[in-house]
């Protein structure tokens, strides 16, 4: 409910600043950035993550197909899981490829945007908001 509560819950670090007046948010943010620049701040080098690539994605696809055939998941469950597997495996890259966090975030955004346009996804989201439990469609 408040920045102080967020700090108590561990969402903010001890050094994080809190602006109580909404009208001053931009000013305070700008001043923070300028002071960081004067202090010599340099962003970290992008971290690389090792991903499973095409072979791992193929294995996950096979497992999902088996689960659908065994009626453990629906066709839409499989579609969603395939998108998740694509992101987790790093997309169309070879096994053990190293990719940046931004690359994975871009894959995730692309997967989300393609799924959010699906009628069955919209129905699932609406059902969860209205009933507080998942819809299996």
| Tens digit of each residue's pLDDT, the chain (137 residues) | 788 888 889 898 888 888 989 899 999 999 999 999 999 999 989 999 999 999 999 999 999 999 999 999 999 999 999 999 999 999 999 999 999 999 999 999 999 999 999 999 999 999 999 999 999 88
Structure tokens at 102: 């931004």
What confidence score (pLDDT) does residue 123 get? 96
Q: Which residues in the chain belong to E strands, given as ranges?
A: 48-51, 97-100
- Rounded Cα distance between 81 and 60, Å, is 9
What confidence score (pLDDT) does residue 32 get? 94
CB under 8 Å to 115, separation ≥6 — which residues?
Answer: 79, 80, 83, 121
Q: Which residue has the tokens 């809190």?
A: 18
Please report, for the chain, the start and end positions of each structural domain, with discontinuous segments joined by +.
3-38, 48-131
Write the CA distances from 88 to 12, 50, 53, 100, integer angstroms.
28, 10, 9, 12
- Rounded Cα distance between 104 and 128, Å, is 27
Q: Which residue has the tokens 């994975």?
A: 104
Q: How many CB atoms lie within 10 A of CB 107?
A: 20
Structure tokens at 37: 């620049």
Using the 8-state DSSP alphabet, how is residue 2 labeled? -
Q: How many CB atoms lie within 10 A of CB 81?
A: 17
- What pTM value is reported for the model? 0.71
What confidence score (pLDDT) does residue 1 get? 76
């Amino acid at each position: 409910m408040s920045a102080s509560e967020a700090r108590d819950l561990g969402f903010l670090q001890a050094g994080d600043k809190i602006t109580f007046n909404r009208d001053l948010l931009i000013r305070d943010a700008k001043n923070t950035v300028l002071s960081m620049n004067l202090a010599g701040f340099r962003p970290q080098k992008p971290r690389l993550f090792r991903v499973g690539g095409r072979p791992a994605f193929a294995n996950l696809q096979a497992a999902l197909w088996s689960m659908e055939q065994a009626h453990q998941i629906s066709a839409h469950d499989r579609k969603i899981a395939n998108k998740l597997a694509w992101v987790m495996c790093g997309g169309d890259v070879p096994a053990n490829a190293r990719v940046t966090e931004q690359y994975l975030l871009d894959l995730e955004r692309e997967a989300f945007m393609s799924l959010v346009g699906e009628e069955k996804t919209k129905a699932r989201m609406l059902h969860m908001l209205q009933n507080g439990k998942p819809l299996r469609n």
